[in-house]
Structure 1
Amino acid sequence: MSWKLTPTGTDAQLRGLSVLSRHVAWASGARGTVLRTVDGGRSWQQVGPPDTEALDFRDIEAFDARNAVALSIGNGEDSRIYRTTDGGATWTETFRNTEPAAFYNCVAFFDKRHGLVAGDPVEGEFRILSTSDGGRSWQRVPGDGIPPALDGEFQFSASGQCITVAGKRDAWIATGGSTVARVLHSADRGRTWTASETPLLSNPSAGVFAVAFRTTRQGGAHGIAIGGDFLNPTGGEDNLALTRDGGHTWREPVNSPAGYRSAVVYHPFLHSVLLAVGPTGSDLSLDAGRRWHQFDDGTFDSVDCGRDGACWASGAQGRVASLRIG
């Protein structure tokens, strides 16, 4: 197993990644960069919104080769959402943050209509946006259904995976920065939330950076929380936890990746297979996250898999690679 790098034509850091198949993938990142391939990475088109070179598109969610939603991060008006329906030929700005202290980090969609955006707390109250029309419009989720933030708590926009969804209604948000790293869970498409503590290290540079979940045949949700300390990228202690009850309780595995990891993904149909990536390498688990083996020492920020089983990673210096088995 190895990564096969593809030429993207950019040196921008690409923290946003959305994979549809072995042929179609989108990536996004610094300097207003949005890339799209429809030929398996043999060529990438620069399709970012015009006049956005000052923005950092930390997350992108694509529905197919033509439809996608991109999120830029930052304080105040730097947090924006754009939508395209023609493969990036044209874009519509559908949200611009007007709160100077607000900062939005990640976006995820349940289906082509319903999605959520997670943001850092303002005066102790998390900012969460929802859409029911495919990202054409966004509404703020009322704060009375969201647990109060801890002192110093926030989300990390390192990979676009600080929020994830599974099934039609369940969503999870990853946090860090405080004395405890938590995962927030909603079972009603983001209207109300509960919080659980994880055993991951948490401080201003550490916490849960990414979460991933899959539903089981019994109707439950198995999940993983991954992270560490980005200022200590080779530190592998307290950087991963697993859950079998939808995030209510968490436990540490037999071993974990040997360093900070910013992204993780379940293989779409090999249910016991997980991939994790970070600045010091990529790791594989064949037993649902209990044991891990590093198979690459290159730097990546995000990882995603399409429904056909094709997996890709993206990261610094315009690096995008597809996974090669064997």
Structure 2
Amino acid sequence: MTLQRKLSISALALVMVAGTGFTPGRGPSWQLSDTGSTARFRGLAPVSARVAWAAGSAGTVLRTVDGGRTWASVGPPEAAALQFRDIEAADAWHAVALTIGNGTDSRVYATSDGGRTWTETFRNDDPVAFYDCLTFLDRRHGLALSDPVGGKFRILATNDGGRSWQVRPTTGMPDALPGEFAFAASGTCLVSAGRHAWFATGGGATARVFASRDGGRTWSVADSPIPSGPSAGIYSLAFRDSRTGIAVGGDYAAPATAPDGSAVTRDGGRHWTVSRTVPGEYRSGAAWTGRGRTALTVGPTGSDVSYDGGVTWRRFDTGSFDAVACTGGSCWASGEAGRIARLRW
């Protein structure tokens, strides 16, 4: 998987819709922030209704501590030529961010002072590896996912909050399919709930979901009904708990149509069922809102809401976003041209 192929996701301007889209009289709507940035933010880490981090192109990292009214650019200067695709934050001071690319372009940076200083805590030295996304099981234990190396997906792990990382042995990892990889589209190709972790794939004959129940040491894999292909598959996962999950995706090369582009599981990812009503277009991010069975999904052509755990979806916005994340009932979305928004109900 080349960097050029990964970054081709960013070439979707032909279908991008300016503005926030329509706002119905009832239900959710996005309220855009003035970020002062033109970066594309695919990494998003809300901490509370007031604190959130976003990471994106040209080494850009933003942080707000006032609910999005103002944003500070706090990215590491040495990463200005790199592409951030994921960021995980514990609070207003501690964050860990991932840059993507073949070989040494895949790096992890950590800050403990709100972005005033950063430490590079991992630099990939394998020219074949390409890291896509991060997740933290708790404040100390985290995982990062690389596309297959030697026929198996690679897991990077930390047990000290991201200050150091170790490549895990692949003895507990099933074989990858020919052409199979993960999508670095929204920082949610790898997610976790407690000691459980999951990652999603595409590119091969079948879009699959890998699951771990021991903190990422051993993995099982299940087929999904979401179509797969050279630029198609599952782009985002969201798990409410160890059993209840949503998968969304499609084909970024044909974003206006995505048959069977959403699926749900009720057994921790062992079995997946196509949603009764799918978004119908390519979606790159999904999140549970913290309001019961309500979930969100976003993509370059719009946003959808589900009130029944992903079984049925309804469009509520036509603006362009790449990532969505929620915490404590506060939901945020981010995307191209510096777009970051908070959800209003």
- TM class by shorter-chain length? over 0.9
For residues 258 and 41 of structure 1, what CA distance do their matches in structure 2 show?
30
Out of 332, 336, 345, which is 1:312 matched to?
332
RMSD after superposition: 0.7
Q: Deviations over 1:22-79 (max 9, x none)?
A: 1000000000000000001110000001221110010000000000000000000000
Out of 299, 302, 307, which is 2:323 matched to?
302
Residue aligning to 2:281: 259
Residue aligning to 1:191: 217
- 1:99-178 alignment, distance < 5 Å: 99-167=126-194, 169-178=195-204
Tell me how far 1:282 sits from its aligned partner.
0.2
For residues 235 and 243 of structure 1, what CA distance do their matches in structure 2 show?
23
Q: May I ask how many residue pairs the two structures share in their alignment?
A: 318
Tell me how far 1:141 sits from its aligned partner.
1.2
For residues 210 and 261 of structure 1, what CA distance do their matches in structure 2 show?
8
Out of 280, 296, 314, which is 1:293 matched to?
314
Alignment pair present for 1:221 and 2:243: yes
Q: Please list every run of at least 4 consecutive aligned residues from structure 1 whose deviation after the TM superposition is greater than 6 angstroms.
A: none
Q: Deviations over 1:192-244 (max 9, x none)?
A: 000000000100100011111122xxxx5111111000111111302111111
Q: TM-score, normalised by structure 2?
A: 0.91
Out of 288, 296, 307, which is 1:275 matched to?
296
Residue aligning to 2:344: 324
* Residue pair 2:260, 2:275 contacting (<8 A) in 1 also: no
Larger helix share, 1 or 2: 2
Residue aligning to 1:7: 34
For residues 46 and 179 of structure 1, what CA distance do their matches in structure 2 show?
41
Structure 1: segments with no counterpart, 5+ residues: none
Tell me how far 1:253 sits from its aligned partner.
1.5
For residues 196 and 130 of structure 1, what CA distance do their matches in structure 2 show?
23
For residues 81 and 185 of structure 1, what CA distance do their matches in structure 2 show?
23
- Please state whether the residue corresponding to 1:156 is helix, strand or coil: coil
Identical-pair percentage: 57
- Please state whether the residue corresponding to 2:204 is helix, strand or coil: coil
For residues 157 and 4 of structure 1, what CA distance do their matches in structure 2 show?
25
For residues 200 and 206 of structure 1, what CA distance do their matches in structure 2 show?
9
Alignment pair present for 1:60 and 2:81: no
The residue identity in structure 2 corresponding to 1:17 is: L
- Which deviates further from its counterpart, 249-258 or 68-77? 249-258
Tell me how far 1:271 sits from its aligned partner.
2.1
